[in-house]
A and B are shown apart, each in its own frame.
Chain A
């Protein structure tokens, strides 16, 4: 989507502020959204610094610029709802309740990391918080989200699974298979395409054949869909709650396309990040469409927060991120022998099955 188009689709914040799901919000909750968005951003800025210092291996896919999507959608979840996404997942992980400490330690490959240093940036998990990853293969998580929602329906639980993917994932076969099964069987899943305009270095226009938007592809599967301006937290919540309610109450899936923007490359290792889009484009978004700035503006207009309050929340977020860096740096790496833990449940639990036969074939 071009910047001109984005401006054209801009809605009045007030329209969505009046939606019941938003009208009922307390000041505390509204400040909580700001806190979560700032925590995500400060966490990632701190992680970027570590990456640039060479303290981290592999890839680092930053969510910076997209924070309102995870915060807005996940703020609607109850203990019966679940969340799964791809590899740009730090924001979802934090808003689902994972601590910065365990996440930062995982980035550094430490044994105190959420996955004991076995997953890395793309593979955060917290099943106890209904957060199911963190998946590295584009669209590979989409049928898993379908399966999580299938299990809810099987057990007659009125919940849903928010299944996030990027705009680059919409052209994978397995995503279409998942859409078809979801609609065919009435599975309570909400597919959320976070459309940041680029599948790695290939723009939407060069990667996807569409008439007007990606979400309308749901028409092919007789599925409900909607398109959302992701910079507007009220709109994200107002439109997402409809999809979530449809899943919970009617056991029907929805395809949501939430337009958003990422400030950094596909990953920090994206060498072409300044070649496939102009610096002015990035700057334009930062100046005019930054979801955190817009929400701050909104809170000030509503009299919920002033500059001082916002600065205090931001300060806390920075402090928390700084503490997590210290925690991660001071944590130990896993021991070599731990390579063989967490491969097989039966082995880890020391069950009879785990002791029967050879499971590992080193020398």
Chain B
């Protein structure tokens, strides 16, 4: 099976969907002639032309709203945000318009819209460029939110997001763009709402999404080697819709859970997972559910400190040892 990067996997998904469906149009800042600020759209403008791959001015509210209008008319716009942090400039268009129009029209309208881009800290760019708004967006009925951790998932989820008939927010991660993984050449998609057990284990469940999954896998490896603890790693992949069954099945098997989350702790995605576990698997638990989140302050610039602000394998191991 070919081994490609997360970036190439996303690029392949976009290229395949552009070729498959005339209604797919890629719109965003620097997506065309510049080949994408993070090169996710590299080569697409050359191959598909200015009609299908469209550079915008720096106007997030304007072009996100344009995407909503185009989706109302049946196009399938894939809107790139250079950073999900920039979504805050266009939040009205995402939450009020993409998120609520179907409802407020009594179901007369649907919006086959994808909004994608990186949503992560850890790159020393300061607080304004380091937001992880998957919890805000997951808090908005009407929107769907996915967050792939591997090249395989990135391609499969992106293709499904484009084919879905509701607005889907795809939260990527610049720190994962260069990660390598096996991705089959043949066509495949991954349904939204299906989690993936990335590592089987029996002593504790580490549950997260996006890059936190990669950190959890690293911690699981060390837990096995250094402490003889068998950790299961559950990758949510999709935040809304959420695969409750896989999460609960894992907890019922291991009886313990540490949630790993690059969101800030207050009302982060992991807070929702925690309440779900205590409500539906309380009797299966042998220890309190605990969390390793981003430290609760705006993203710090200072490089050595920011490394510690995000969940690390050390912090995960510490939490695991406290309950195992």
Contact = CB atoms under 8 A, between A and B. Distances in A.
Contacts of A143: 61-66, 68-69, 93
Contacts of A344: 102, 142, 144, 166
Contacts of A147: 65-73, 77
A146 B165 contact: no
Given A137-B96, A140-B65, A346-B164, A356 B191 contact: yes
A155 B70 CA distance: 11
B93 A174 contact: yes
Contact of A343 (B51, B109, B141, B272): B141
B107 interface: yes
B104 A132 contact: no
A118 B65 contact: no
Q: Size band of the B side of the interface?
A: 35 or more
Contact of B57 (A117, A184, A341): A184
Contacts of B272: 361
Interface residues of A, number: 58
Contacts of A357: 191-194, 238, 240-244
A358 interface: yes
B271 to A, nearest CB: 12
B142 A343 contact: yes
Contact of A140 (B96, B106, B164): B96
B40 interface: no
A151 interface: yes
A113 interface: yes
Secondary structure class of chain B's binding surface, majority of residues = mixed
Contacts of A135: 97
Contact of A363 (B51, B57, B279): B279
Contacts of B72: 127, 132, 144, 147-148, 151
A343 B165 CA distance: 12
A146 B69 CA distance: 7
A180 B59 contact: yes
A123 B106 CA distance: 10
A115 B68 contact: no
Contacts of A114: 106, 108
Interface in B231-275: 238, 240-244, 272
A284 interface: no
Given A345-B110, A352-B191, A357-B241, A154 B70 contact: yes
A144 B65 contact: yes
Contact of B107 (A133, A140, A155, A341): A341
A177 B60 CA distance: 9
A181 B25 contact: no
B69 A148 contact: yes
Contact of B105 (A125, A140, A180): A125
A146 B66 contact: yes
Contacts of B61: 143, 173-174, 177
Interface in B21-78: 25, 51, 56-57, 59, 61-75, 77
B96 A136 contact: yes
Interface in A186-218: none
Contacts of B243: 357-358
A358 B244 contact: yes
B197 to A, nearest CB: 15
Contacts of B286: none
A187 to B, nearest CB: 9
Contact of A123 (B65, B77, B104, B242): B104
Contacts of B70: 147-148, 150-151, 154
B101 interface: yes
A119 B106 contact: yes
Interface string B133-171: 000000001101000000000000000100011100000
* Residue in B62, B108, B142, B165 with the greatest tally of chain A CB atoms within 10 Å: B62
A360 B109 CA distance: 20
B107 A181 contact: no
B228 interface: no
Contacts of A343: 102-103, 141-142
Contacts of A56: none
A86 interface: no
A274 B93 CA distance: 34
Interface string A308-333: 00000000000000000000000000
A256 interface: no
A142 B64 CA distance: 11
Contacts of B68: 143-144, 147
Contacts of A151: 69-70, 72-75
A184 B75 CA distance: 21
A126 interface: yes
Contacts of B103: 118-119, 342-343
* Residue in B51, B63, B106, B109 with the greatest tally of chain A CB atoms within 10 Å: B106
Contacts of B71: 147
A58 B219 CA distance: 52
A145 interface: yes
A358 to B, nearest CB: 5
Sort A-B residue pairs by CB-CB distance and give the 6 closest, nearest first.
Answer: A357-B193, A147-B69, A143-B65, A177-B62, A357-B241, A342-B107
Given A127-B72, A177-B59, A357-B242, 10 more contacts: A115-B108, A116-B106, A133-B105, A135-B97, A143-B93, A148-B73, A154-B51, A154-B75, A177-B62, A343-B103
16 contacts: A115-B104, A127-B109, A140-B92, A140-B93, A144-B69, A147-B71, A148-B69, A151-B73, A154-B25, A174-B59, A174-B62, A174-B93, A184-B57, A343-B142, A346-B165, A357-B193
